[in-house]
Structure 1
């Protein structure tokens, strides 16, 4: 996997050009963000990812210069477009032509040919900008958590840069930066939509220009891959619904004492309908809080639908309408649509005044037995955990039993890693697929636990926001350690923002992931890229070990985990690239005859 530095090599000249472009990006960042450190960080991140991607492209070009696997469809289609024949289409391609159109625009602007190398190089450029988009997304999330509502902030934390680089190095994503596939561009344009979304929720009333951008970027994401609709409309649109609800700011009121269950339910439904929803910090949320959060948001959305549509989400509805037209014309989300639930389990703020008052309940009168039982069950977290575990076991087992659909393509192509995953797990013996059920649940639980972060890292004032429940969520929030008792590794505003967990409404990521995965006919690692990217953007930074005092040791504790993540990703990338480059093989028939015209086959994601 040698990196040749021949000045006459096309990729060297292109690299020089993009170094100059990165320099321009740095100058722009300095002038726009007002911080030379931020500009330098963006510049260095761009160059680092670009160098690694060009090294990978160089190796792929040397050992696999001709189109490989899905490139056999993508490359000729792009070259047909390059010749101006836009009425020619390969029916075997199941994604829209966005990749080819944008590639042709890029090659014509840079006066490059539509060779296999140039087409692959397009993804090298995109993966570099994807890293910057991830950095900006992470930084804007942190600024929103700390209440910074200016369009640009003068600081981007180290955590933002490290997160962005690690997202670009995510093995499944980075691998395809050296091939002409849709995944890198698809992820990039969705991140552009996410950046636009984060800008929209900085204000109570988005501008017309912002709404137009939302439509244009949304349509762009659909033009690259149809299933992006679930992230652009369901996830981002859903988060904007929550944002509008939180800006309604109903007048605060004292929680009365209730005698009957119906009185209590009526009160909370009334408060939810006004926009006083239940959306606590994820680190103090129990399973019942997830249910209450969904109920409160649904009630508020229905009762304030006109305001929500007119003020915020009408651009998303335009994008959704375009998607519906496409589905009606195409006959489905993707060609060969099949609902495949197993794929889900194999992958596994600005407060309103009413939410800051924390009103006390007045002394409770004699309560009905139904009310006491309801509140007791709602506050019994041991019971919740037992029911959740039992329910997860039952549902997952039923999914495995009745929805284990193994697509013929999965077993027909031994070039993909998933072929061997299926072969040596659920196809090996009938009981193994059921033995994996606890593994699925544990993996899902670990993903959720990681999103919760360190319970002591949330600011106490943040934990008290958006809590409206008859159960004991508020008491758990108020029992959090005061600022003086929080770990001393929380040493600056940027670190504070990095360690704050998301709110409960972030569970919308689960809905978007489920919709995007169950509508895919195949189990492919590539389909998990976007769910992982958004999950990773939301994961709060956590100290690797407790420390006393501030200083270098506390920073080492905080950034050790991202460092280990980087090393881990580099090792996986090195292993998969090594196998792809150095372990070619040939398909042979029973009589030893070469198949597929004697073409070289390679292992890949």
Structure 2
């Protein structure tokens, strides 16, 4: 039955979304009451207020207990690394309403979180139209993914960055590539590394058009057994020449975004806007390993069913398994990097994880290697790589590129690749969905409880700092 004609389902969707927003709003208000500026908000909030009010001299920032006053002529805060997309959206929504307070600015991300829920639901129904009830639960689960859900309560760039990535992916799924490229360009204004996910869309579109049409296949992806025959150069070149004009128009719109970004990097001298010395590009392959751990922790119900198959895989390919483990050990030994911010900032969970495990016990790094292998095996198995070559190839390539050049270990860096991975899971069991939901609820309860009860005092701040992701 079409979704539009399923009255029970539509009522359930409306009720679920309304409950999500109301509960999130209550939690949002508690965070606002109990917190001053939170870590990087001391950079984002003054900048956001200036954009929002269109005033660039004196800035008043109202917090629950005090007013912060900044007096200076407008300039870009050198500690801000991202482009002003978040502030532009804030000014477009809040400026005309004159709601440019700390509450108003943070509320932008609460709205973005709700919009993300709608987009998760929309994308999942496009991806798996026959599993509408599972899609509804999945959309809620992804929306309350603990690190993502927490940042919906504060004024950071991550939530709204994901909003535009989702808009681009939904438009791409609907074959509206002009809008997909536009949303992709806007996503880069939120976070520069989102350019990688624009390339992710280009790659999927071009490969599907060229490789599938070369064999006149109508399926949404190709089989691994067929891939080698599709990758012969002459048929690909010939098929490129025969593509219709609309194909090339779509490719040009995507490439215009990439070219503009390349020009920005050339003129700016770096991918980041400010704080360039602390955010220089470094090859840091273990970031992929940390992403595997992130995926196992938050996706454990989906990984659980692949433990036995992984053991069987290892038994049958023991030599291959041993060689990969040796390679991982070598990477850990020669390429484990520690950013100064990671070692110094005790307001993030990564500080405690690193200092109490990875830094304190050097052998712990190597004991984790088999877990990294299982994470890689689980990701590829869950994605069903044999039947989804194009998506898996582009997802793997873009995840590698977006992570391995980041020296700083940040939970937020893993959000987009994990969300894209989670959106493409198929044939999920209800038991796994319920386990996932319960896991996220427990973790969210714990992290918000710690946020409300744990105070951290720094000598250069006259108010308590909070522990966040």
Contact 1:131 1:168 in 2 (8 A): yes
Number of residue pairs aligned between Structure 1 and Structure 2: 420
Pair 1:564-2:435 in alignment: yes
Instruction: Return the match for 2:355 from 423, 426, 439.
Output: 423
Q: Counterpart in 1 of 2:291? A: 347
C-alpha distance in structure 2 between counterparts of 1:422 and 1:525, whole Å: 12
Q: Counterpart in 2 of 1:257? A: none
1:561–1:211 CA distance, 2 compared to 1 (3 A): closer
Q: Counterpart in 1 of 2:62? A: none
Q: Counterpart in 1 of 2:22? A: 51
Pair 1:582-2:453 in alignment: yes
Contact 2:357 2:364 in 1 (8 A): yes
1:140–1:573 CA distance, 2 compared to 1 (3 A): same
Q: Counterpart in 2 of 1:78? A: 48
Deviation per residue, 1:370-406 (Å, 9 max, x gap): xxxxxxxxxxx98984454234223322221221110
Q: Counterpart in 2 of 1:375? A: none
1:247–1:438 CA distance, 2 compared to 1 (3 A): closer
The offset of 1:215, in angstroms, is 2.8
Deviates more, 1:326-335 or 1:117-126: 326-335
Gap regions ≥5 residues in structure 1? 1-29, 144-154, 201-209, 253-274, 349-380, 454-472, 474-501, 543-557, 588-594
Q: Secondary structure at the match of 1:529?
A: helix
C-alpha distance in structure 2 between counterparts of 1:383 and 1:68, whole Å: 49
With normalisation by structure 2, the TM-score equals 0.82
Q: Counterpart in 2 of 1:148? A: none
More helix by percentage: 2
Instruction: Return the match for 2:390 from 505, 508, 530.
Output: 505
C-alpha distance in structure 2 between counterparts of 1:167 and 1:277, whole Å: 24
Deviation per residue, 1:43-88 (Å, 9 max, x gap): 2343132123212211111110x21101111111001112314763
The offset of 1:524, in angstroms, is 0.7
Instruction: Return the match for 1:213 from 179, 182, 187.
Output: 179
Contact 1:136 1:195 in 2 (8 A): yes
The offset of 1:570, in angstroms, is 0.6
The offset of 1:249, in angstroms, is 5.0
Pair 1:573-2:458 in alignment: no
The offset of 1:561, in angstroms, is 1.3
Query: Counterparts in 2 of 1:352-363, with a 5 A limit?
Result: none
Q: Counterpart in 2 of 1:529? A: 415
C-alpha distance in structure 2 between counterparts of 1:246 and 1:41, whole Å: 40
Instruction: Return the match for 1:337 from 252, 256, 280.
Output: 280
Q: Secondary structure at the match of 2:95?
A: helix
Deviation per residue, 1:392-449 (Å, 9 max, x gap): 2233222212211100000010111001111122211332222221121122222333
Q: Secondary structure at the match of 1:585?
A: coil
C-alpha distance in structure 1 between counterparts of 2:211 and 2:381, whole Å: 26
C-alpha distance in structure 2 between counterparts of 1:397 and 1:113, whole Å: 53
Contact 1:194 1:232 in 2 (8 A): no
With normalisation by structure 1, the TM-score equals 0.64
1:318–1:42 CA distance, 2 compared to 1 (3 A): farther
Contact 1:71 1:180 in 2 (8 A): yes
C-alpha distance in structure 2 between counterparts of 1:220 and 1:332, whole Å: 19
Contact 1:277 1:293 in 2 (8 A): no
Q: Counterpart in 2 of 1:597? A: 461
1:438–1:211 CA distance, 2 compared to 1 (3 A): closer
Deviates more, 1:77-86 or 1:381-390: 381-390
Q: Counterpart in 2 of 1:92? A: 79
Q: Which has the larger radius of gyration?
A: 1
Q: Counterpart in 2 of 1:40? A: 11
C-alpha distance in structure 1 between counterparts of 2:216 and 2:468, whole Å: 58
The offset of 1:519, in angstroms, is 2.5
Q: Secondary structure at the match of 1:520?
A: coil
C-alpha distance in structure 2 between counterparts of 1:411 and 1:561, whole Å: 36
Query: Counterparts in 2 of 1:57-68, with a 5 A limit?
Result: 57-64=28-35, 66-68=36-38
C-alpha distance in structure 1 between counterparts of 2:88 and 2:216, whole Å: 52
Q: Counterpart in 2 of 1:293? A: 227
1:277–1:584 CA distance, 2 compared to 1 (3 A): closer
C-alpha distance in structure 1 between counterparts of 2:333 and 2:267, whole Å: 34
Contact 2:142 2:419 in 1 (8 A): yes
- Please, what is the CA RMSD of the aligned residues? 2.9
Contact 1:278 1:296 in 2 (8 A): no
Gap regions ≥5 residues in structure 2? 57-73, 293-312
Deviation per residue, 1:493-526 (Å, 9 max, x gap): xxxxxxxxx6122212111111111232311111
The offset of 1:337, in angstroms, is 2.7
Contact 2:106 2:154 in 1 (8 A): yes
C-alpha distance in structure 2 between counterparts of 1:431 and 1:320, whole Å: 42
Contact 1:139 1:160 in 2 (8 A): yes
Q: Secondary structure at the match of 2:366?
A: helix
Q: Counterpart in 2 of 1:242? A: 207
Query: Counterparts in 2 of 1:156-235, with a 5 A limit?
Result: 157-200=132-175, 210-233=176-199, 235=200
Query: Counterparts in 2 of 1:87-486, with a 5 A limit?
Result: 88-109=75-96, 111-143=97-129, 157-200=132-175, 210-233=176-199, 235-250=200-215, 279-280=222-223, 293=227, 296-297=230-231, 299=233, 301-302=236-237, 304-306=239-241, 310=248, 312-334=250-272, 335=276, 336-339=279-282, 340-348=284-292, 385-386=317-318, 388-452=320-384
